[in-house]
Structure 1
Amino acid sequence: MNKPKIGVVGIPGKWSTEVLADRLEALTGFRAVIDMAEVELRLDTNQLMHGDLDLAQLDGVIVKKISEVYAPSAEDRILFISHIEKLGVQVFSSPEAIGKLINRLSGTLALQQGGVPMPKTRVTESLDQALAAVYEFGSVILKPLYSTKARGMEMLTADQDESELRQVLTAYREQNSLYYIQQTVKLDGRDLGMVFLGGEYFCTYSRVGNKDSWNTTIHSGGHYELFEPTEELIELGRKAQACFDLSFTTVDIALTDQGPVVFEVSAFGGFKGALEGCELDAAGAYADYVVAQINQRGVV
């Protein structure tokens, strides 16, 4: 029986991309890391070329990372991947599911429509309405529509000078089509990353802040620790990830004085938190899952 050929769309040289490619190579003997910046879509021949490799001829593709940062251009790349999915290549996660999460607003709306508790959020094009939301909430996080790991986010408080607030809001609007404003919540210095594989619970880790930053991301100096959630908390994470039907994801959950809330669901999910916080090889488990799914379909 031939072993499946599975490519990894990601960032060459990045640990999470390379470790997933390593795990797949160990299972199948095939290795391909695909940089979307180097891909050419040939519509006349229905090929998606990365060098000499035609992605349309692969048995499967795992989208580990569509781009280094979220941006409207990432949505164009998703369309490329969607085209080969329609040609019969199995894609993990599906481009449709990923596409809902590249833009923060579409992801938020899916969670809201799914009845998932989130921090109070206001979205508007109006600077005056945005300013009013800051005064109403007292303390808010201004979030770019295309952003990961808290990049570009800014905390605003009602006690700041109005001219300063207007200046920040004006600068934000020059880069974003909408104001996305979320009320800050009281954390105990950590938030949770709840990992799901194929819709099934995998593990939970906490991101613990370094006390010098308002957010707990590793990008801002936080670190991972193991966390044992209650069944009720797992069900909240399950409900949130079910809004998107992702093959692998991490649900960001905050424990607040008013109960747990979901910050967001990751389009791709991370491996390092599971490894360092839970001592589990999520990359290996994901590779096993994908190979099993492709074999079950009978591609090989």
Structure 2
Amino acid sequence: MTEKRIGVIGIPGKWSTEALADAVAARTGFRLVIDMAQVVLDLGTGKLMFQGQDLCQLDGLIVKKIAEVYSPHALDRLEMLRLAEARGVRIFSRPEAILRLIDRLACTMSLTLAGVPMPDTVVTEDAGKAREAVRTFGTAVFKPLYSTKARGMCLIKDGPGAKANIADFAADNPVMYIQKKLDLSGQDLGMVFLGGEYLCTYARVSGGGTWNTTIHDGGVYVPFSPDPALIALGHKAQAPFGLDFTTVDIALTGDGPIVFEVSAFGGFRGVRDGCGMDAAALLTDHVLARIPA
């Protein structure tokens, strides 16, 4: 057992956060789950405080989840962590890397510029151009720029009701992120990487009756064995971000595989249920190997 003090930033009480904190405690004897909503940044004193603990005095921080719901406020929380990083605290993954993934458009731009195949996508604030996109795609998926697990996403089909549906979406999402709906044959893939190296792949299979495959909407995890070309695609997608632990969302279509997004944090439950592996233990060992004694 090492005496390194490593905090886990996440959602107290959530399974993946607590599992990671347990794995850290089993190896270090130190357990600290950090809720960023209770962290105080004091630039006058140069401290980042959580319940009496200056996070700048820890040996490391693992970011399992920065917020329950993605929003621009999550970006502010990551900015706060930069103080601890500047004081020499190792952070996994680095705030700068996560920042590029919280905003869906930032992730999409990085993937596109890296030459990663993605669904046809239109981004606009113009309702008329959004209507044109729906007409071109036939059926389009409208996605909030800040969301996880398909929350806030909706399908809009070409037809008489499209204009009103677009207006409803735009009321809460003035910048509209619009993708062509693809036939996913009821499943998509989560390809997992640890420290930039391929770990495993699981499939998310639709629970039936929904257009997406998320576990939130009744999907289930099952094992999947990708071929080397598919692994190479996943590796190419995650490489620009430099994350310590991530999942690349991939779909197999009639025109070949495409990437939807790269996760800022990765999913522990999919690794457990779909791959039979302990992601919390693997990530903790990865972190401990990279923090100086």
Which interval holds the TM-score relative to the shorter structure? over 0.9
TM-score scaled by structure 1?
A: 0.96
The question of 1:227 aligning with 2:221 is answered no
Deviation at residue 3 of structure 1 after TM alignment: 1.8
Letter in 2 for 1:31: R
Match of 1:45 in 2: 45
Letter in 1 for 2:76: D
Any idea what SS the aligned residue of 1:129 has? Answer: helix
Match of 1:273 in 2: 270
Deviation at residue 226 of structure 1 after TM alignment: 0.3
Match of 1:195 in 2: 192
For 1:264 and 1:2, the matched residues in 2 are separated by 36
Match of 1:152 in 2: 152
Deviation readout 1:128-160 (Å, 9 max, x if unpaired): 0000000001111000000000000001111x3
Deviation at residue 2 of structure 1 after TM alignment: 5.7
**Does the 8 A contact of 2:2 with 2:27 survive in 1?**
no
Any idea what SS the aligned residue of 1:170 has? Answer: helix
For 2:127 and 2:43, the matched residues in 1 are separated by 43
Deviation readout 1:82-102 (Å, 9 max, x if unpaired): 221111110100111100011
Letter in 2 for 1:285: L
Deviation at residue 168 of structure 1 after TM alignment: 2.1
Any idea what SS the aligned residue of 1:44 has? Answer: coil
Deviation at residue 186 of structure 1 after TM alignment: 1.0
For 2:249 and 2:103, the matched residues in 1 are separated by 16
For 1:183 and 1:61, the matched residues in 2 are separated by 38
For 2:146 and 2:283, the matched residues in 1 are separated by 26
Match of 1:132 in 2: 132
For 1:102 and 1:166, the matched residues in 2 are separated by 29
TM-score scaled by structure 2?
A: 0.98
For 1:276 and 1:224, the matched residues in 2 are separated by 6
For 1:37 and 1:70, the matched residues in 2 are separated by 13
For 1:141 and 1:4, the matched residues in 2 are separated by 46
Match of 2:87 in 1: 87
For 1:72 and 1:172, the matched residues in 2 are separated by 18
Deviation readout 1:55-82 (Å, 9 max, x if unpaired): 1101100110000010010010010112
**Aligned-residue RMSD, C-alpha:** 1.0
For 1:47 and 1:210, the matched residues in 2 are separated by 47
Letter in 2 for 1:182: Q
Any idea what SS the aligned residue of 2:289 has? Answer: helix
Q: How does 1:1-300 map to 2 (within 5 A)?
A: 3-158=3-158, 160-161=159-160, 164-294=161-291, 298=292, 300=293
Letter in 2 for 1:120: D
For 1:133 and 1:173, the matched residues in 2 are separated by 14
Any idea what SS the aligned residue of 1:293 has? Answer: coil
**Does the 8 A contact of 2:188 with 2:252 survive in 1?**
yes
Q: Which runs of 5+ in 2 are unaligned?
A: none
For 2:166 and 2:61, the matched residues in 1 are separated by 40
Deviation at residue 116 of structure 1 after TM alignment: 0.4
* Number of residue pairs aligned between Structure 1 and Structure 2: 293
For 1:178 and 1:267, the matched residues in 2 are separated by 21
Q: Which runs of 4+ in 1 moved over 4 A?
A: none
Per mean C-alpha deviation after superposition, the further-off stretch among 184-193 and 171-180 is 171-180
For 1:269 and 1:254, the matched residues in 2 are separated by 17
Any idea what SS the aligned residue of 2:117 has? Answer: coil
Aligned sequence identity (%): 56
